[in-house]
């Protein structure tokens, strides 16, 4: 029971609600614990926490993770933490610019990428894939699930529906009863919901895979 549904959508085809949810999550979780500590307690507190954590786990980082000793010095770690925090501050500034209508989601992704765009992901706060020289963003909050692995990716409504018809375990959030519903096969109601949801995005503007 470990298979999940993964939906990726071209930045321009994300709905306003999807963008707002993605940005809300990113702003809340940007940088993880180190940035959260910095915002709550300030630079001195988090720097000490950061240095102590690396000191206490020195052998693990160096001997098990292969981190060079030169990257475990206080000077290097201090510089690294500052760069991470500065990156979070910059990213959040861009996220708010999207919410204010001053930047598109695609523009933000290009500005916040840390390395060359790879096959899977280039931003800490969003799961992005590249296919056929374009990018697709994982919407993160799925409303349905197909419990059947597939090595294929689906980018049209009809191909997706045909695949889902072969599943023996499906679930989705039913807005009418306000809870998740399990099904052993594709029902007319779920098919209509899938056709409406992905049809509104448009063929070749999304990618779905099950893994």
Q: What is the 3-state secondary structure (H, E, C) of the chain?
A: CCCCEEEEECHHHCCHHHHHHHHHHHHHHCCHHHHHHHHHHCHHHHHHHHHHHHHHCHHHHHHHCCCCHHHCCHHHHHHHHHHHHHHHHHHHHHHHHHHCCCCCHHHHHHHHCCCCCCCECCECCECEEEECCEEEEECCCCCEEECCCCCCCECCHHHHHHHHCCCCCEEEEECCCCEEEEECCCCHHHHHHHHHHHHHHCCCCEEEEEC
Where residue 97 falls among pLDDT bands split at 50, 70, 90? very high
Closest CA to 141 of 47, 20, 18: 18
The alpha carbons of the chain give a radius of gyration, in whole angstroms, of: 21
Q: Are 107 and 113 in contact (CB under 8 A)?
A: no
Is residue 2 pLDDT above 90, yes or no? no
Tell me the per-residue pLDDT of 141-197, one tens digit each, with 9 for 90 and over.
999 999 999 999 999 999 999 999 999 999 999 999 999 999 999 999 999 999 999
Residue 120: pLDDT over 50: no
Give the pair of three-digit tokens for residue 71. Answer: 């990257």
The whole-number pLDDT of residue 29 equals: 87
> Whose CA is closest to 71, among 61, 57, 82?
61
| Across 19-45, average pLDDT | 92
Whether 115 has a pLDDT exceeding 80, the answer reads no
**Which of the four pLDDT bands, split at 50, 70 and 90, describes residue 30?**
confident
Query: What are the backbone dihedrals phi and psi of residue 152, each rounded to the nearest 5 degrees, phi first?
Result: -95, 160
Q: What is the mean pLDDT of the chain?
A: 92
pLDDT the model gives residue 116: 45
What pLDDT sits at residue 66? Answer: 96
Q: Are 20 and 144 in contact (CB under 8 A)?
A: no
| Top-confidence residue, 107 or 121 | 107
Residues 6+ apart with CB under 8 A from 120: 127, 128, 129
- Does position 123 have pLDDT exceeding 80, yes or no? no
**Structure tokens given for 117:** 């765009």
Please give the model's pTM, rounded to 2 decimal places: 0.86
How confident is the model over 61-79, as pLDDT tens digits? 999 999 999 999 999 999 9
pLDDT of 140 over the 80 cut: yes
């Amino acid at each position: 029971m470990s298979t999940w549904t993964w939906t990726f959508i071209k930045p321009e085809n994300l709905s306003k609600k999807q963008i707002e949810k993605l940005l809300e999550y990113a702003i809340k979780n940007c940088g993880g614990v180190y940035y959260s500590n910095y915002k709550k307690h300030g630079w001195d507190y988090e720097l000490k926490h950061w240095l102590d954590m690396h000191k206490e786990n020195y052998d693990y980082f160096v001997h098990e993770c292969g981190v060079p000793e030169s990257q475990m010095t206080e000077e290097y770690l201090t510089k690294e933490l500052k760069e991470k925090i500065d990156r979070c501050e910059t990213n959040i500034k861009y996220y708010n610019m999207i919410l204010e209508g001053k930047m598109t989601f695609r523009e933000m992704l290009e500005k916040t990428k840390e390395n060359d765009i790879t096959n899977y992901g280039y931003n800490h706060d969003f799961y992005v894939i590249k296919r056929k020289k374009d990018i697709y963003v994982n919407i993160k909050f799925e409303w349905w699930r197909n419990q059947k692995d597939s090595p294929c990716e689906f980018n049209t409504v009809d191909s997706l529906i045909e695949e889902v018809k072969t599943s023996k375990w499906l679930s989705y959030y039913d807005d009418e009863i306000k809870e998740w519903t399990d099904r052993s096969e594709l029902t007319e109601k779920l098919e209509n919901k899938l056709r409406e949801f992905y049809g509104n995005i448009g063929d070749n503007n999304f990618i779905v895979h099950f893994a």
